[in-house]
Every structure is written in C-alpha cells, then in structure tokens.
Structure 1
Amino acid sequence: MEQDRDRGRWQHAVVIGAGFTGLLAARVLARRFARVTLLERDRLAPGTTHRSGLPQGRHPHGLLARGAAVVEELFPGIRAELAGRGAPVFDFGEGFATRLPHAWAPRTAVGIEVQSLDLTALESALRGRVRAEPAVRVRDGFVVEGLQLSADRRRAVAVTGRDRDDPDHTAVRIEADVIVDAAGRASRLPGWLAAAGLPRPEQRRVASPLVYSSRMYELPEDAAPGWLVSFEMTFPPLVRRGGAAVTVGPGHRLVSVIAPAGELPPPRDETALREFAGSLHNPLFAQVMAQGRPVTPVYRCPVGGNRWFRYDRLRRFPDRLLVLGDAFCAYNPVYGQGLTVAALQAELLGRLLARAGEPAGVAARFQRRAARIALFPWLTATAADQGWTTSRPGPLVNWARRFLGRVLLRVPGDPELYTHFARVQNMLASPLVLLRPSLLHRLLRPARSPQGDGPAQ
C-alpha cells in the first residue's frame, strides 16, 4: 500500500483490542492514517456495561497522575467529562488513606491532582470520543485469529479472523499498513510468530497468587467518609493481605479485599467477607461494608502476575507490527501502573508517527523505546512481588526490593520524603530522584517509630 500523498496521510491501520490501550492507540493513529479499524472480540453495548473481555473491570483501577495527563492531552476535556459523571478530582496526598506495610502514609497535600474513577466508565467515555473520529471504524464482535506476513516474513501485512455471529464462520482478511496488538493479556501474538516460523519472544514472569473479591456499596449521605480512595499495600512475605476502596460516583465505593486465593472467604459468605476485611490493618474497608448497602454481587478474579514479552530484543521481528500495553508488558494491577504505562506508550507512538516519513522502521524504534518506559515500573512491581516466590531474584531486582523496603519503612514518619515518593508513585519523577544525597540521607538515617497518621474516618 502506498501513502495517501494528497492528504499527507497513510492509508490503513488496524488495532487489535478496543480496550483502554487500543482506544488510545486508535486516537494517535487517526492523526496519520486515512482509516483506522479497531477490532474487538466483545460486543460493545452502549453505556457503561461491563464486557466479558475485561474481567478485572469490576475491580478497582487507578490512573496515575502522569497517565491522566497523557489521556487529557489526547482527549481534551475528558477529565471534566468524567468528573461530571461523578469521578472526583483531588490532591493525591489529601484524598488517599494509605496503609503501607509498617504504618499509615502521611495525610498531607502533595500538589498532585488525581481522579478516582471506574475503568468501565473511563473506557466508555474514551470509546465515545474515538467513535466520533471520522477516520476510525470500530468493528466489534470480531475475533482475530491470525497474522499474515509478507513472503519474506519481514513485515506484517494483514490479520485474519471472523465475525462471532457469522454461522458460517467465514474467514475475513483485513490488510493494513500498520498493525497494533493492544489485546492485553489475551494477546496471541507469540503463537502467531511461532506459526510463521519466527522465534517467540523471551518471556519474563514474576507470579502473584493474589485474588480480588470486590463489591460495590452505596453509602448514606451522612456516612460519607473523609477520604476518596483507601488502600492497603501487600508486601510479601511481611504483608500477605490488602485491599482497596475507590470512589466511583456520588455515594458509591467499590471495595476490594486482596489475598492469596486460599485465604479469601467464599464470595457468597457476606459475614466471612466482613470478618476478613476487619482482620486487615486498614479498618476503612470494613467500615464501608458495615455502613453501606451492597448494590452488586461479590465478584472474584485473579489479580494476575507480572509478565513481559521482550519483543524489543527479537532480531527477527516483523516491521509494521507494534505491541502496546499488557500485550507487551503486564504488571500486577495492585500497584496501579498498567494504565499509565499504556498511555505513555501510546504517547510515544504518536511522537514517532509524527516524525516518520513512512511506516517502515517505526515498529523497531517503538519497541525499543517502549521497553524503556516499561523498565522502572517492572522493577517496582517485581521487587514487591518477589516475596511470593522462593527463587532468588537477579541482583537488580534484589537491590530494588531492598531499596523499596527502606523507602516504605521511612515514608510514614517523613511527609517531605512522602511527597517525593508520591511523585515517583504517580510516574511524575524517576525512582532515581530518591537517590539524591538529601533524600538518600533521610532514607539511611536511623528510623523513628513509623507510626504515621491514622486513617481519616
């Protein structure tokens, strides 16, 4: 296919997956392509209906400040739109009631604005914007079953699949100048590469046995707590259980308790679930359960561990094929990094496309730089989750775990250190800022009793 020179745009891009990552990818592709086809396995009902391809959509999610800024840049006004639907915007330090492994994080303003939201509502709002793009076509109910390469296997040329509702299972071939895999953890790309006679990417894994049990509660007006998001961090083997409670609308809190599967009570045992919540260091989850009215069943879902397919290290990787988000590097979602990493990768793709004279060569540049974006979040997540395994970590992960443990010990009693840590958490600053001499001194000095402030009721 040739570039559409009359409009200075290329002809056709295909995106596999119409979730958060795919929607952002479609947005940036629409700036350079005359047509963008967004392929989604699920049928996409209007509104904020949960879809089967997003089982974790019924559980708490977070969009860090850096990721929210990227989304706002790509979709101007989206924060205000979500706020109008009941997703509050607030200072991270003031609105979060966070129980760290040793004590409570300080409750103090840190100058970082964040928004508490529901992932399904976020996707619905983004999808509405993307559908309004003249260049974009959303083709839902379409199952992508294969990838086709050129005869020399050097570039991707098409995807194959079928419509779910077609009783004849008619095979469909869709050609494209660029193909983006944004299918998340369900990506089948390693198998497609192997079927084409190409090497599979190296896969790095750090498992997590954690499972969510989540339920939505409606609180009476006179019981509104003094926090908008509450969190209890797991840090195995010291802290094996945790939880999160997120404001997703007026008077509504989505509460999730988290533990290894064998330690969670059965989903239908409300009494046991409340007792479990009451056993945590953070009492706020149990308070919401006691004061609120449950408005959904209890949903359970494996958290999912950490998995990184090193496409960036493949010497033989097809050109014009790009992998974003969880399909490339998926994190334990307890740490809230995945959406922001995906947003940063979409932003990177937009920059590379804007500078490129043709689609050729963009894929290799993208995968290398996307790996740089993934690295620090990977070290943070795997450093924490290394406590679930008896295997010995590599020297870099071992150092990161020890350093993270030191930070978590010191933060509760040091509001200034917490402000810097909050910037790192929200990916507004590199973790390397904590190695500055002034902050390193604070980390290495003898620790006071790490009490921190108690939770706001």
Structure 2
Amino acid sequence: MVTWPSRRGRPAGTGPEGGDRWGHAVVIGAGFTGLLAARVLADRFARVTLLERDRLAPGTTHRSGLPQGRHPHGLLARGAAVVEELFPGIRAELAGRGAPVFDFGAGFATRLPHGWAPRAAIGVEVQSFDLTALESALCDRVRAEPAIRIRDGFLVEAVELSTDRSRAVAVTGRDRDDPGHAPVRIDADLIVDAAGRASRLPGWLAAAGLPRPERHRVASPLVYSSRMYELPRDAAPGWLVSFEMTFPPLVHRGGAAVTVDRGHRLVSVIAPASQLPPPRAEAALREFAGTLDNPHFAHVMEHGRPVTPVYRCPVGGNQWIRYDRLRLFPDRLLVLGDAFCAFNPVYGQGLTVAALQAQRLGLLLRRAAGPAGVARRFQRRAAGIVRVPWLIATAADQGWSPTGPDPAVSCVRAFLGLVLRRAPGDPVLYARFALVQNMLTSPLGLLRPSLLWRLLRPRTPVAPDPGESGPG
C-alpha cells in the first residue's frame, strides 16, 4: 500500500499552534470542496459558516446543485490520503457502507487506446464510491464540528468589499424559503468561494469595478449517459472499476463502471453528444455500449437490474480562472476547487486537486498570524497545485480541437501517447504510470533512463485482459 506522508504536523482538529482563534470564516458551497475547506478553517477560526443553496436532506439524497453527482467520480490515492488525514476513519466508515477498498492495479480493468492495461497489484490502495455517499459522510462529520454551522437553502448574491475595495468583509444573500426575500448580510473575517463551476465571483468583481480574471478554457464535447444497476451475485464481475479512456482524435468514445457498493454498479458511457443515443432509448444505449472495446459496460447492462433512470450531463471541459494573476484582488477572499480550476472529470483529477488545495490552506492558516494576507499567498500556491494536472488534462483534450493542439503541448501529447501505446505490454511501465495517475509521483519520473528504455524498445505482443470476454 502506498501512503502519502502527512504535512499537517499535528492531528486533525487539535486547534492552532498558538494564539487565540480568529473570528468568523464563511464558505460558499457545501459540496466536497466546501466541506474540506470548512474542516481546515475550523482549526483556526472560532466560527465557520457553510452557505449552501440546496437543501441538504439527511442521508444520501442527490441534490439539484450537483447534476454531475449521478455520474462516476474518482478520488485518486493521494487525494484519498488527504481526506483521511482531515477526517480520520472516513475510509473505514465508507467501507462499512459498502464502498470497496482495493489495489488500483488489481481492481481496475482499464482499456487504454492500444490495449488492456496489465492487471496486477501495484501497491496503490484506492476506494470506489458514489459521490453523494462520500459528501453525505463528510457532511455528517462537519456537522459534528462545534465551530461549524451549515446554513442550507441560502442563495449568495454578492460578496461585499470594504470602501476602498481592498478586502472582502461580508456575504449578502437571502434564504430561499423566505417569502419576503429579505436581504441577509453575513460579516466575515475570511470568505472562501467553493461554489464550483457555478461560481459567480467574476461577475461580482466586475460589478465592484475590479478587473475580471483571465479565463483559460479547453473544451471537450463529451457527454455522460449514466445509470445505476444492481447485479446478481452470479453475474458479479472480477473487477471493481472498469474504464475505457478517450484520447482524441484516436478514441472518441469511452465509459466507466464503478462499484459503489458490493451489489450496485454505476455505469456511464461517454461520447460527443451527437454520437450518444437519447437517455430514454435503453436498447440504443445498450447497443452503443456494445460498440466499445471494453465489454464490461454492456455486461452490466445486460445482466443488471436498472435501479435509476438514465441521467445525461455534459462533461464540462477544462476551465482555469486565473485569480492568481490579478494584481487588484481583495484580501480575505480566496477561491479553490472547481471555482478556481475545473477539469474534464474523465481524468479523475478534480476531487484530488481540491483536497490538496484544502490541505495547503490549512498549512498556510497554521503559519499565519491572522487572516490578512492569507488569500494572496494561498492563490499562488493553489496555482502551483493545478499546473501539472492542467497540463496533462488539456494536452489530452486539445486533441478535440479542429486545428490540433497548441505547439507548446504537442510534445506532451506525443510523450503521453507513447506511454499509452507501450503500457499495455509492460507491467513495470504501467505501474509507474499508475503512480503518476494517482498523483503520487511527478510525471518527470517517467523520464528516468530505465523507463525511457522501456518506451523506446521494440513493442511486445499484448495479451488480452483476463476479464475482457465475460464477468471476470
């Protein structure tokens, strides 16, 4: 098992290293990112308020503000280690609810563009789950924190700045269920925007007379069609997660099947919108799954009992809003998670990047004498966390561009393509690549002479995946 060393220097929840707790922190958004942010803020602030536009019903009910919650998500090994560090025992708690823990190399059946990835234990432990179940478990933990209050059903309408616009001082909004729509002002010593892709912060800054940040976009035309199935025991496959990756322009279609508990598989097929059948066309969706090189999705559809409708949602592409480059940016206001940089979720990086940002925020807070100046330092460091995952995701997705990738990323795409071509026949190379996938090592580790030799030697024949032709 690979574990990621803790950098917090003390157990979670033990309070600041010295001095009194600060005043009041406000977090916009009570999804995965907001829950982690609230957790680290509670170590330093006397009060933390989480503002969430959806009503948070008890249990694992899907919420309207998270349409992608009905589709597969992954938490990479490094991200899982951070979440466990912030919420000790959360992995065992989820496992008790049925979310399996397993070795990445042995439990994943991965169809790469040029063949099946080797199936063997590589010492990287991961867990598969339904995102709603993960958020529900984290929300229960956060509610138990004495310093944290969750105010759901609250619509944030603006961030209020000081008269000279040098710092954020309050959040304004209203309760959704208030028939009078009375405005509410919530003073804060630090404001965190964790509202995801729906963040309205760029418009709020512009309304205050401040410059809008640069917005970098790399689009993806992909759309998910996903459904949950219950599999009988005699049809249970030998994998826990099955995946077929897209790699444009070579591979336009793919899919994922995730074990969310021992009896249920969440299956998603992925393609450009023009290629996917309508959500209610069950027979057409099954036929589409049968056209993929990975037969596992069709197997689950054929043998499983549907327990949800088919849900369809655009993937969303990649977007990086460069708050870190703004010279005129209010102090005591910071942005993390998808509100700062959102990735194509096909690559599974988003949750882990958000966890790393929350971890870094906690470290900065512990070292700071007060909330002043933390936001600018954090935003620069958050950009550093984003940089490599952004390069990998966008290098792959620039293959969708009709003009081809930018010259600056062409070499990255060429190298990634070479790794993907050779990995199916080389368990050692794939194991190293899996460490990079899980953000446990730098991509530069693939440039070691011993691995370069594996990339450049003559290609060996690739054996079929053991589970390719049936359940196992």
TM-score computed with the length of structure 2 as normaliser: 0.94
Distance 2:171 2:455 in 1: 52
In the alignment, the residues of structure 1 paired with residue 25 and residue 399 of structure 2 have an alpha-carbon distance, to the nearest angstrom, of 42
Are the aligned partners of 1:323 and 1:367 in contact in 2 as well (CA < 8 Å)? yes
How far the C-alpha of 1:334 sits from its partner, in A, is 0.6
Say which SS state the counterpart of residue 115 (structure 2) adopts. Answer: coil
Quick one: which amino acid aligns to residue 284 of structure 2?
A
Q: Is the 8 A contact 2:398 2:406 kept in 1?
A: no
The aligned residue for residue 398 of structure 1 is 410
Matches within 5 A, 1:229-240: 229-240=241-252
Partner of 1:22 in structure 2? 34
Q: Superposition pairs for residues 23-422 of structure 1, below 5 Å?
A: 23-422=35-434
> Which residue of the partner structure matches residue 9 of structure 2?
none
Contact 1:248 1:254 in 2 (8 A): yes
CA contact (8 A) 1:163 1:169 kept: yes
Q: How much has 1:450 moved relative to structure 2?
A: 4.6
Output one character per residue of 1:293-341: Cα deviation in whole Å (capped at 9) or x when no partner: 1111100001110000011111111111110000000000011000000
The Cα of 1:58 is off from its aligned counterpart by 0.5
Deviation at 1:449, TM superposition (A): 4.0
Aligned residue identity for 1:455: G
Q: CA deviation at 1:8?
A: 1.0
Q: Deviations over 1:355-395 (max 9, x none)?
A: 00111111111111111110111111111111111235333
Contact 1:87 1:247 in 2 (8 A): yes
1:399, CA displacement in angstroms?
Answer: 1.7
Indicate how the Cα distance of structure 1 residues 5 and 344 shifts in structure 2: closer, same or farther if over 3 A, else same: closer
CA contact (8 A) 1:245 1:254 kept: yes
In 1: Cα distance, 2:20 partner to 2:425 partner: 57
Question: Match for 1:149: what amino acid?
Answer: L
Amino acid at match of 1:126: L
TM-fit CA distance, 1:453: 3.2
Code of the residue aligned with 1:316 in structure 2: it is L
Give the Cα separation in 1 of the matches to 2:62 and 2:419. Answer: 37
Q: For residues 283 and 5 of structure 1, do their structure 2 counterparts lie closer, same or farther at Cα, with a shift above 3 Å needed?
A: closer
* TM superposition shift of 1:437: 1.5
- 5+ long unaligned stretches in structure 2: 1-15
Q: CA shift at 1:403, angstroms?
A: 1.1
Post-superposition Cα deviations, 1:389-444, rounded to whole Å, max 9, x if no partner, equal 12353333222111111110011010000110000000001111111121122122
Q: Which moved more, 1:240-249 or 1:445-454?
A: 445-454
Structure 1 residue matching 2:365: 3-state secondary structure: helix
* 93 and 172 in structure 1: CA distance in 2 versus 1, 3 angstrom threshold: same
**What is the letter of the counterpart of residue 213 of structure 1?**
S
Q: How many residues align?
A: 454
TM-score, normalised on structure 1? 0.97
Q: Is the 8 A contact 2:54 2:154 kept in 1?
A: yes
Verify the 8 A CA contact 1:147 1:160 in the aligned structure 2: yes
Q: Residue type of the partner of 1:227? A: W
Match of 2:454 in 1: 442
1:91 and 1:113 in contact (8 A); partners too: yes
Worse overlay, 318-327 or 390-399: 390-399
* C-alpha separation in 2, matches of 1:77 and 1:237: 42
Q: 1:408 to 1:452 in 2, by over 3 A?
A: farther
Q: Which amino acid aligns with 1:255?
A: V
Identity of aligned residues (%): 80
> Counterparts of 1:5 and 1:378 in 2: how far apart (Å)?
34
Cα distance change on mapping 1:163 and 1:295 into 2, 3 Å? same
- Where structure 1 has 5 or more consecutive residues not aligned to the other structure, the ranges are none
Say yes or no: does 1:13 pair with 2:25: yes
SS at 1:8 equivalent: coil
Alpha-carbon distance between aligned partners in 2 of 1:57 and 1:453, rounded to the nearest angstrom:
30
SS in 2 for 1:256: strand
Deviations 1:267-301 (A, max 9, x none): 11111111000000000000011111111110000
Decide whether aligned partners of structure 1 residues 104 and 5 sit closer, same or farther in structure 2, where only a CA change above 3 A counts: closer
- What do residues 52-82 of structure 1 show as CA deviations (whole Å, max 9, x unaligned)? 0000010000000000000000000000000
Q: How far did residue 452 of structure 1 move?
A: 5.5
In the alignment, is the contact (CA less than 8 A) between 1:37 and 1:139 conserved in 2?
A: yes
Instruction: Encode CA deviations 1:6-45: one digit per residue, 9 max, x unaligned.
Output: 9611010000000000000000000000000000000000
Q: Tell me if structure 2 keeps the 8 A contact 1:104–1:454.
A: no
How much has 1:5 moved relative to structure 2?
A: 13
Report the CA distance between 1:447 and its aligned residue.
2.6
The residue type equivalent to 1:417 in the other structure is L
